[in-house]
């Protein structure tokens, strides 16, 4: 597929995807979901990539979904548009490596939902967050009502969802929506630094940490414990042994 919205690159085991529709503040449309779905398929089994960064071009990460496309949709078409977005965003959690949102500006509506679908978020100090759908008589369609209370809490989620208030990066950090704030010029370098830090670890261990943690969140505590036990034991039979030997021999592990 020839991309018209996404710009992609891979360097030193780190993939970077830039959403580039700056004239529309990177608003999400059907074409975006087609390109992102295709891109995820192309990298999901890659042995080269160990972390993925998603960011936006210009002054917005993503300022929302494309209202100009949605305004003529029927209820059935709206449900299909929601289902497609949810399916694509869910795939970030299924990738075998962490997905980092580098939020460089407005992350509103579908943009905030995209950021929340990533494994964690780094924000520029000038980033803005919000779920303004109720201003349009709509509700979030890409699992915003489900992810937001899981990342924050019920009260903060309902506050943002019902007031449509736009919050700054500091408030987002206090709500645990983001994990770190940087100055705008340091955003991508810091995201690359963190991605490089992750890429230096045991790739199978990182994959299993993500898998077990995400699956455990949707399971009972005891089920999560058993899942951890299983994969903890499994790691002794593969790269875990190399990692422990490297530690004892005071050398870098050969992953």
Tell me, what CATH number does 71's domain have?
A: 3.90.226.10
d(CA 36, CA 4): 11
Which one from 34, 35, 133, 228 is the annotated catalytic residue? 133
CA distances from 183 to 13, 186, 187, 213, 229 (A): 25, 5, 6, 30, 40
Q: Catalytic residue at 249?
A: no
Q: Which of the 8 DSSP states describes residue 238?
A: T
Residue 92 has pLDDT above 90, yes or no: yes
Does one domain contain both 116 and 220? no
Domain count, the chain: 2
Q: How many CB atoms lie within 10 A of CB 83?
A: 12
Residue 195 has pLDDT above 90, yes or no: yes
Q: What is the domain extent for residue 208?
A: 203-248
Place 237 in a pLDDT band, splitting at 50, 70 and 90.
confident
Residue 1 inside a domain? The answer is no
Place 116 in a pLDDT band, splitting at 50, 70 and 90.
very high
Does one domain contain both 72 and 59? yes
Mean pLDDT for 31-54 is: 97
Does one domain contain both 83 and 153? yes
Residue 11 has pLDDT above 90, yes or no: yes
At 63 the pLDDT is: 96
Chain position carrying tokens 């992609």: 8
Q: Catalytic residue at 183?
A: no
Residue 255 inside a domain? The answer is no
Does one domain contain both 194 and 108? yes
pTM of the entire predicted model: 0.95
Which one from 34, 76, 113, 249 is the annotated catalytic residue? 113
């Amino acid at each position: 597929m020839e991309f018209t919205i996404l710009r992609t690159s891979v360097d030193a085991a780190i993939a970077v995807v830039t959403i580039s529709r700056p004239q529309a503040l990177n608003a999400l449309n059907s074409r975006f979901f087609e390109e992102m779905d295709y891109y995820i398929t192309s990298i999901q089994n890659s042995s080269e990539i160990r972390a993925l960064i998603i960011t936006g071009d210009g002054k917005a990460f993503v300022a929302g979904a494309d209202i100009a496309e949605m305004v003529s949709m029927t209820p059935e078409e709206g449900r299909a548009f929601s289902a497609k977005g949810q399916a694509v965003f869910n795939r970030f959690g299924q990738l075998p490596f962490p997905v980092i949102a580098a939020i460089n500006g407005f992350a509103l509506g579908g943009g905030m939902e995209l950021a929340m679908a990533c494994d964690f978020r780094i924000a520029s100090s000038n980033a803005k967050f919000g779920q303004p759908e109720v201003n349009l008589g709509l509700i979030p369609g890409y699992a915003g009502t489900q992810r937001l209370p899981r990342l924050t809490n019920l009260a903060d989620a309902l506050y943002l969802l019902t007031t449509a208030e736009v919050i700054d990066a500091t408030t987002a950090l206090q709500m645990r929506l983001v994990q770190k704030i940087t100055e705008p010029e340091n955003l991508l370098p810091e995201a690359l630094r963190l991605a490089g830090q992750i890429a230096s670890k045991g790739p199978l261990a990182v994959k299993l940490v993500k898998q077990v943690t995400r699956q455990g969140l949707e399971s009972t505590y005891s089920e999560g414990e058993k899942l951890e036990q299983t994969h903890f034991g499994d790691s002794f039979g593969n790269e875990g042994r190399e990692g422990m030997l490297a530690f004892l021999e005071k050398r870098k592990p050969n992953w």
